[in-house]
């Protein structure tokens, strides 16, 4: 190996008769900076892409969650409306069924009431007492099912529960009062509400003008 080749390998070079060191550190550092900077930039770009994808996915999930909440709220509202409509329809059907049933048995009850006359003879009194007992049992059974007698005699006239088929002017009254009941009325009570089944036929006393 020649002397010049040794000098090159040792990091020196000759110019004429002098040997000068060759500085390779600058070029090496530049190459190192370029090498380290490039992966850093690529890593930053990759992280930003991941963050953007995560934000997009979160937005999709939030939209889906909002849609599900809205759909759930509509379903609950529809169910509540259906429940109320069903309850109202059931109550209406029940009232009609009760009304139809009661109207069928009221005729026999009316006939029992007609048997009871005021001031009966002693011979008839025991028979009438038995009729009254049967009539009271019928009414008690009806009351357990929410069917009540319209208390009309001596009460203020109520056109929603009573039907006036006769009237009389009186000087001793200040309002329309039921003086006589020709046919008993019935009403149906459910959940503290009362619905007329059959109006009472009454005679109404009116204040004399």
Going from N- to C-terminal start, the domains of the chain cover 70-207
Please name the residues in contact with 112: beta carbons below 8 A apart, sequence gap of 6 or more: 131, 134, 135, 138
pLDDT in tens, the chain (209 residues): 445 554 444 444 444 444 455 444 455 454 545 544 555 566 677 888 888 888 888 989 998 998 999 889 999 999 999 999 998 888 888 878 878 888 888 888 888 888 888 888 888 899 999 999 999 898 898 888 888 999 999 999 999 999 999 999 998 889 999 999 999 999 988 777 888 889 999 999 999 87
Q: What is the pLDDT of residue 53?
A: 87
Per-residue pLDDT reduced to its tens digit, 130-184? 999 999 898 898 888 888 999 999 999 999 999 999 999 998 889 999 999 999 9
Note the pLDDT of residue 32.
47
CB–CB of 189/94 below 8 Å? no
For residue 53, give the DSSP letter: H
**Are the C-beta atoms of 185 and 149 separated by less than 8 Å?**
yes
- In words, the CATH class of domain 70-207 is mainly beta
Task: Please tell me the pTM assigned to this model.
Answer: 0.58
Q: Which residues contact 131 (CB under 8 A, 6 or more apart)?
A: 112, 115, 116
Sign, CA dihedral 41-46-50-55, equals positive
Beta bridge partners of 59: none
User: What is the phi/psi pair of residue 76, to 5°?
Assistant: -65, -45
Give the side-chain half-sphere CA count within 13 A for 182. 11
Q: Which helix (H) or strand (E) holds 204?
A: strand 200-207
Q: What pLDDT is attached to residue 189? A: 85
Task: List CB contacts of 206: < 8 A, sequence separation 6 or more.
Answer: 167, 168, 169, 170, 173, 176
DSSP code of residue 156: B
* Cβ-based neighbour number of residue 49 at 10 Å: 10
Rounded Cα gap, residues 129 and 120, in angstroms: 11
Q: How many Å apart are CA 51 and CA 67, to the nearest integer?
A: 24
Question: Where on the phi/psi map is residue 163: left (φ > 0), alpha (ψ -120 to 50), or beta?
Answer: beta
Q: With beta carbons less than 8 A apart as the criterion, state whether 203 and 163 touch.
A: no
């Amino acid at each position: 190996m020649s002397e010049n080749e040794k000098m090159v390998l040792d990091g020196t070079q000759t110019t004429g008769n002098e040997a000068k060191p060759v500085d390779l550190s600058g070029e090496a550092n530049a190459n190192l900076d370029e090498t380290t900077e490039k992966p850093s930039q690529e890593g930053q770009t990759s992280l930003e892409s991941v963050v953007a994808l995560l934000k997009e996915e979160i937005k999709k999930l939030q939209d889906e969650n909002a849609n599900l909440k809205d759909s759930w709220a509509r379903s609950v509202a529809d169910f509540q409306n259906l429940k109320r409509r069903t309850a109202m329809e059931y109550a209406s059907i029940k009232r009609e069924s009760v009304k139809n049933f009661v109207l069928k048995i009221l005729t026999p009850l009316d006939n029992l009431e007609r048997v009871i006359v005021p001031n009966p003879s002693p011979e008839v009194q025991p028979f009438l007492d038995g009729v009254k007992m049967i009539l009271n049992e019928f009414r008690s059974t009806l009351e357990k099912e929410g069917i009540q007698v319209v208390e009309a005699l001596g009460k203020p006239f109520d056109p929603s529960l009573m039907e006036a088929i006769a009237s009389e002017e009186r000087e001793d009254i200040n309002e329309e009062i039921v003086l006589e009941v020709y046919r008993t009325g019935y009403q149906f009570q459910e959940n503290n509400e009362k619905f007329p089944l059959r109006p009472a036929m009454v005679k109404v006393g009116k204040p004399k003008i």
